Amino acid sequence: MKNKKTVSFSKNSTNIFFHILTNCNLTCRHCYINKEQHGKNTLSLKTINSWLGAFAGKKDSANVVFLGGEPTLHPDLFLAVKHARKKGFKSITIDTNGYLFNAILSKIGPEEVDYVSFSLDGATITTNDMIRGRGSYNKCISGIREAVSKGFNTSLIYTVSSANIDELAMMAPLLGKLGINRFFIQVIGIRGKTAKSRPFKQEIENPQVSRKKWLDTIPEIAEKIAELGITVTYPKVYLDTDEKFECAGLVADNYFIFPNGRVYRCPLCEDYPLNCMEFNGSRLVNTKKINEIDLFGLSIPEGCVMNRLIQPGNLKYNKDGTSGYKIACCLLKEEISAGR
């Protein structure tokens, strides 16, 4: 028996996506990092701890995800993790490409981090390494095995595109063999490197999969993977025209923090200076209008206004000009877990 639910937005849970640097050893074709907008600096441990302190009042309900770039390139990541645990944040996750620099798993224990989350974008070496870089498949698999052998809970992120959706079904036996606890299916966005240079163009014209392909493929495969006892989460993406649209920027408590001090509430805005907050020293302050918050309240038949502005190719219209469907908030998720 499986439990399937739409994960509703909640103001009672805070999610802090903390990019502590933007450098990375890989050059993934769909990387969303934009150094011109996110900064090229590596935050000091003092700054990391100071900025975490801005959420001290929410720590009991706050989930912290350390990201990059590649966060394990930061020599003090283990100290930042220990600090976050000591301060009492609800959960702590490290997102890594699997190279696990600076012997990170020897400097922290499974009791100090809730998940080590890996990224793999192909069930085969050929596909994954075409997207993420030569040698990355084997290195990621090796990193997962090391983490599992040391008792860490592990999750895996698979960013779906036209280049790898046909290998998604092949992930089930691999996930089971590796001992993965959670599996996240992501949808590729037209932002960062994908927006600037269309890096998939030599292989495929459009890296995004069609609505039909997504709906025909993702939910069915997610259910099959959940049968292995793995919790599977994937974005809802599409709403029927009669379904209510909600924007996480208005009804949730998410913060996307970058090394240059910008703080966004919506990841679709990250290629633009639309951030509604920023760090001024150790203080988290609101920015001047107009910013992303001013756009979140706009109501349109197509659903997500940011999608309409930034990646309108996701939309389709009927002959009479009405919207054929709505695009859900990119943070609205479906979750399937093994039930009793």
Pairwise pLDDT comparison (2 vs 247), residue with the higher score: 247
Q: What confidence tens digit (pLDDT) does each residue in 125-170 have?
A: 999 999 999 999 999 999 999 999 999 999 999 999 999 999 999 9
What pLDDT was estimated at residue 339? 58
Q: What confidence tens digit (pLDDT) does each residue in 191-246 have?
A: 655 555 555 544 455 788 999 999 999 999 999 999 999 999 999 999 988 899 99
Domains, in order of start, for the chain: 2-292+328-338 (3.20.20.70)
Q: What is the pTM of this model?
A: 0.94
| Confidence grade of residue 69 (pLDDT, cut at 50, 70, 90) | very high
* H, E, C per residue of the chain: CEEEEEECCCCCCEEEEEECCCCCCCCCCCCCCCHHHHCCCCCCHHHHHHHHHCCHHHHHHEEEEEECCCHHHCCCHHHHHHHHHHHCCCEEEEEECCCCHHHHHHHCCCCCCCEEEEECCCCCHHHHHHHHCCCHHHHHHHHHHHHHHCCCCEEEEEEECCCCHHHHHHHHHHHHHHCCCEEEEEECCCCCHHHHHCCCCCCCCCCCCCHHHHHHHHHHHHHHHHCCCCEEEEECCEECCCCCCCCHHHHCEEEEECCCCEEECCHHHCCCCCCCEEEECCEEEECCCCCHHHHHCCCECCECHHHHHHCHHHCCECCCCCECCEECCCCCEEEEEECC
| Confidence grade of residue 310 (pLDDT, cut at 50, 70, 90) | confident
What pLDDT was estimated at residue 1? 53
What pLDDT was estimated at residue 242? 86
Residue 89 has pLDDT above 70, yes or no: yes
What pLDDT was estimated at residue 241? 82
| Confidence grade of residue 255 (pLDDT, cut at 50, 70, 90) | very high
What pLDDT was estimated at residue 194? 59
What pLDDT was estimated at residue 190? 64
